[in-house]
A and B are shown apart, each in its own frame.
Chain A
Amino acid sequence: MSEERAPDRVVGIDLGTTNSLVAYMEGSEPIVIPGVDGSNLVPSIVALDVVDPAAENARPTVTVGNSARRALIENPERAIYSVKRLMGRGLEDVQDELKLFPFHLAEDIEAGEVLRIRLGDKTFTPSEISAYILRQLKRNAERYFGAPVTRAVITVPAYFNDAQRQATRDAGRMAGLDVLRLVNEPTAAALAYGLDRAKEGLIAVYDFGGGTFDISILKLNDGIFEVIATNGDTHLGGDDIDNLLLAVALDEIGNEHGIELRQQPDAIQALRKAVIEAKITLSSEPAVKLDIELPGGGRYQREIPREIYEQLIQPVLARTAAPCKQALADAGVTPGQIEELVLVGGSTRIPAVRVLVDQLFELSARGKKPHTELNPDEVVALGAAVQASILAGSSTTTEELLLLDVTPLSLGIEALGGVVAKIIQRNSTIPASATEHFTTGVDGQTNVAIHVLQGERELAADCRSLARFDLKGIPPMTAGLPRIEVKFLIDANGILQVTAREQRSGTESQIEVKPTYGLTDEQVESMILDSFDNAEADFEVRQVIEARLEADTILAAVEKAPTSPAWQQISDHEKSQIETARQHLIATKLSGDLQAIRAATTALDHATRNFAEKMMEAAVSGAMRGKTMQAASEELDATAPAEVSAPHPFAPAEFEESR
């Protein structure tokens, strides 16, 4: 049982709607791995970099996270947030999303096809966008360990269906990760809390995140975390609150100032940012003031008291009640039987949410409080790290723990009349299987089509299409004679596998899967190779970007040079040398040649060395007499790169207020 791979770390990843995190088990405790900027949270924002048109075979490169935030406001058509809302979905499903989110889809998407999103002049599937986020997290972990990271556990909402799970797993593969397991987010949170094996009893996890809501009821017993029932809404989260506030603001601005901002994507994003900050403030303050500069110079100023805010968002919060009641009913327990309640997700910081949860689960009535000891933004990633450790067998703390999860949706087959025959019930512990028998309707028929769906409704039209399976290679026989045994197996990731055998002849039928809203294995493979090529080229590309930015710094300073009094003090010969070096650097910058750019930068630096000294002297001895060297050099620095625009992946990011 010895490992042949070089030992590498296994990490847990929370791929969230709003923020993503990567964590691992350090000794007996899971910890979150920070990014370059020291932040634990990587915003799930991806921006397509402006590609240098002069560079040959320019591959698309992207910026992820905090650095991409600015692009949302400055270049909204090249940036995307909340891509999780599009994973595993089709055109028909996302019409509501399209009204509220600035997603730009390709024009030619067919029904049942995977979505393609436009960023700039390129298109990406949701899995590819998510893969960029995963790759950033992978890099953060590798930087932290100083070693490669290739294996991960990735979390998904418990209520994600098969297509959504496959899309997540595909994203992992594209990012170069071996996805050991997809873990349901509430279950992961329970793991993080229940690490202490002494915890026993019935617990509920209320997970209200940026885009999805899950409620899970679990039984903890001697290190076994057994999910009894789960329910949720994959179209419900903090984003919906943001959109409500945004809509109100847009309407008021329209009415009060006569400005219709809805046509201005960059203004909308700026407003959205302000509205989100206000929302966060209202979790701890009784009121907040919005004060936004409008195009044209006016200001939109509005005070929002918490009571008004709560009235406004009540319908969104109320949507979490029905899934809770259904989960309790499916589990066969009353609210009073729930011993512990765990709050997960940034949206559970909202006081009105805590009031609702308290009512739904009769907490304070029984002298109980919900658990919030672990940071609700981080607890899922921490739990994923615990599961990663269980799978890797890397910690004695976790070796006896076991997660028993369930499938959230019933699995069925479309039968005659468009009715669904359920073959695996929702909340069945996974892995779970069912065996069904099919036969042919026509003499000599060599294949049989099966339509598999997920959902609780009676009619196929009201359920989620999972995939169409074509069973091929059936030996030709009289109609009704073949006995094709089809085995449906939902694996530990909650993803369906299908095998089939024609029993009379004993032949295994080949199965061709047409996943709905998904990618075939071949398509995913091709996307991996593209990403892989990018990865190798990427390091160099990053270096070139860095070198160009350095070049820009010095060019900007040199461009300002003639305005400095010291410029008069240098010879014409020197000026012309500086100008030659400057032109040379500008030309070299356009090439992708790292060494050439660096050489040209150094050359310009040398050419301006004397001038720079003179500038310093002028600053010190001239109008700024009396200032310290520090101030003088700051004055000099002030001519430096405020104008440089391309957000550099390794640039010190603006420190956002973390949630």
Chain B
Amino acid sequence: MSESLDSILKLDSDYFQVFGLPRAFALGTPTLEGDFHRLSRRLHPDRFARASAEEQQWSLAATALLNDAYRTLRDPIQRTEYLLKLEGLQIGEEHAGKGKAADRQPPPDLLEEVFELNMQLEEMRMNQKMGEPDPSLQADLAAARSRFESLLAAVDSDLATRGAEWDTGDVTTRDKASKAMAALLDRRRYLRNLVRGVNEVLAA
């Protein structure tokens, strides 16, 4: 019984294996959603409602794996983080308390801009507390946000480039590319938090 279930999907598969995809940063299929639906129809607990308890347990684990895999692979950033982790790098936001310092420090090339932005945010918050809006400050912050958003876009573009290098490269190339991607992810996370902070202040 478990052998035939195993032939449908091994529960220790990685997310790429779930979809029969090669490990790559570029998504290797245009039909991920369709495949997800097809596999859902086969694995979902609703399809096993009249099966034995053992089969139901298997279906639950298999579908969780399928859902986790789909959720991760369809989002470029989650996919990138996942593959880097799979390849052995320490990546991603750890739990608070064991935090990686890298994504909490401003990227060195942006130190001045970040410093200035933080000052502006502080000032804006003060203005809001006092109920004294400052339109020119607001405009400055909106401009700063646009700037950081285009930096973010640049990071995403770099990530795609590095990903392609890794997909087509040899061991040395891969090593360089993955380290670069890890750093880019830290930078991206930092910039995202920055933009989020500005959005909060501007929306208030």
Instruction: Tell me the nearest residue of chain B to A435, going by C-beta.
Output: B68
Q: Is A393 an interface residue (CB 8 A)?
A: yes
Cβ–Cβ contact A433 & B96, under 8 A: no
Cβ–Cβ contact A491 & B71, under 8 A: no
Bits for A397-419, please: 1 = Cβ < 8 Å to B, else 0. Answer: 00010111000000001011101
Q: Is A8 an interface residue (CB 8 A)?
A: no
Given the known A-B contacts A391-B46, A491-B60, are A1 and B51 also in contact in the complex, defined by CB atoms under 8 Å? Answer: yes
- Nearest chain B CB to A94's CB is how many angstroms away? 31
Interface of B is mostly: helix
Instruction: Tell me the nearest residue of chain A to B45, going by C-beta.
Output: A492
- Interface pick from B36-44, B148-156, B161-169, B174-182: B36-44
Given the known A-B contacts A392-B50, A489-B64, are A402 and B44 also in contact in the complex, defined by CB atoms under 8 Å? Answer: yes
- Nearest chain A CB to B72's CB is how many angstroms away? 11
Q: Is B97 an interface residue (CB 8 A)?
A: yes
- Nearest chain B CB to A219's CB is how many angstroms away? 10
Q: B51, B65, B67 — which one has the most chain A CB atoms within 10 A of its CB?
A: B67
Q: Which of A224, A400, A402, A432 contacts B68 (CB 8 A)?
A: A432
Q: Which of B64, B96, B97 contacts A431 (CB 8 A)?
A: B64
Q: Which of B47, B51, B96 contacts A419 (CB 8 A)?
A: B96
Chain A residue contacts of B71, Cβ below 8 A:
428-429, 432
Cβ–Cβ contact B50 & A393, under 8 A: yes
Q: Is A637 an interface residue (CB 8 A)?
A: no
Q: Which of A112-160 contact B (CB under 8 A)?
A: none
CA distance A413 to B40 in the complex (A): 28
Given the known A-B contacts A429-B71, A431-B64, A432-B67, are A224 and B37 also in contact in the complex, defined by CB atoms under 8 Å? Answer: yes
Q: B40, B65, B70 — which one has the most chain A CB atoms within 10 A of its CB?
A: B40
Q: Which of A221, A403, A430, A491 contacts B37 (CB 8 A)?
A: A221
- Nearest chain A CB to B184's CB is how many angstroms away? 22
CA distance A415 to B47 in the complex (A): 37
Instruction: Tell me the nearest residue of chain A to B71, going by C-beta.
Output: A428
Chain B residue contacts of A360, Cβ below 8 A:
none
Chain A residue contacts of B111, Cβ below 8 A:
none
Chain B residue contacts of A402, Cβ below 8 A:
40-41, 44, 46-47
Chain B residue contacts of A221, Cβ below 8 A:
37
Q: Is B129 an interface residue (CB 8 A)?
A: no
Chain B residue contacts of A393, Cβ below 8 A:
49-50
CA distance A492 to B60 in the complex (A): 8
Bits for B65-109, please: 1 = Cβ < 8 Å to A, else 0. Answer: 101101100000000000000000000000111000000000000
Cβ–Cβ contact A433 & B65, under 8 A: yes
Q: Which of B46, B63, B68 contacts A403 (CB 8 A)?
A: B46
- Nearest chain A CB to B174's CB is how many angstroms away? 26
- Nearest chain B CB to A398's CB is how many angstroms away? 10
Cβ–Cβ contact B40 & A404, under 8 A: yes
- Nearest chain A CB to B31's CB is how many angstroms away? 13
- Nearest chain A CB to B8's CB is how many angstroms away? 16
Bits for A540-557, please: 1 = Cβ < 8 Å to B, else 0. Answer: 000000000000000000
Q: A392, A393, A433 — which one has the most chain B CB atoms within 10 A of its CB?
A: A433
Cβ–Cβ contact B51 & A415, under 8 A: no
CA distance A354 to B84 in the complex (A): 49
Cβ–Cβ contact A421 & B96, under 8 A: yes
Q: Is A180 an interface residue (CB 8 A)?
A: yes
Chain B residue contacts of A431, Cβ below 8 A:
45, 60, 63-64, 67
Chain A residue contacts of B96, Cβ below 8 A:
415-417, 419, 421
CA distance A242 to B129 in the complex (A): 38
- Nearest chain A CB to B82's CB is how many angstroms away? 13
Given the known A-B contacts A402-B46, A403-B46, are A432 and B64 also in contact in the complex, defined by CB atoms under 8 Å? Answer: yes
Given the known A-B contacts A402-B46, A404-B40, A430-B67, are A416 and B97 also in contact in the complex, defined by CB atoms under 8 Å? Answer: yes
CA distance A286 to B114 in the complex (A): 59
Q: Which of A3, A222, A421 contacts B50 (CB 8 A)?
A: A3
- Nearest chain B CB to A553's CB is how many angstroms away? 49
Chain B residue contacts of A492, Cβ below 8 A:
44-46, 60, 63
CA distance A400 to B37 in the complex (A): 12
Cβ–Cβ contact A415 & B95, under 8 A: yes
Q: Which of A27-42 contact B (CB under 8 A)?
A: none
Cβ–Cβ contact A421 & B95, under 8 A: yes
- Nearest chain B CB to A6's CB is how many angstroms away? 14
Instruction: Tell me the nearest residue of chain B to A3, going by C-beta.
Output: B50
CA distance A277 to B40 in the complex (A): 46
Cβ–Cβ contact A180 & B95, under 8 A: no
CA distance A432 to B46 in the complex (A): 15
Cβ–Cβ contact B49 & A491, under 8 A: no
Q: B46, B60, B96 — which one has the most chain A CB atoms within 10 A of its CB?
A: B46
Q: Which of B48-67 contact A (CB under 8 A)?
A: 49-51, 60-61, 63-65, 67
- Nearest chain B CB to A186's CB is how many angstroms away? 17
CA distance A391 to B56 in the complex (A): 12
- Nearest chain A CB to B54's CB is how many angstroms away? 13
Q: Which of A432-463 contact B (CB under 8 A)?
A: 432-434
Chain A residue contacts of B40, Cβ below 8 A:
224, 402, 404
CA distance A428 to B66 in the complex (A): 12
Q: Which of A2-55 contact B (CB under 8 A)?
A: 3
Can you list 10 A-B pairs with a CB-CB distance of less than 8 A? A181-B49, A400-B41, A402-B40, A404-B44, A415-B96, A416-B96, A419-B96, A429-B71, A430-B67, A489-B60
Q: A221-B37, A492-B44 are in contact. List 6 more A-B contacts (CB 8 A).
A: A393-B50, A402-B41, A402-B44, A429-B67, A489-B61, A492-B45
Q: Which 7 A-B pairs have the closest CB atoms?
A: A391-B49, A416-B97, A431-B64, A433-B64, A421-B95, A429-B67, A419-B96
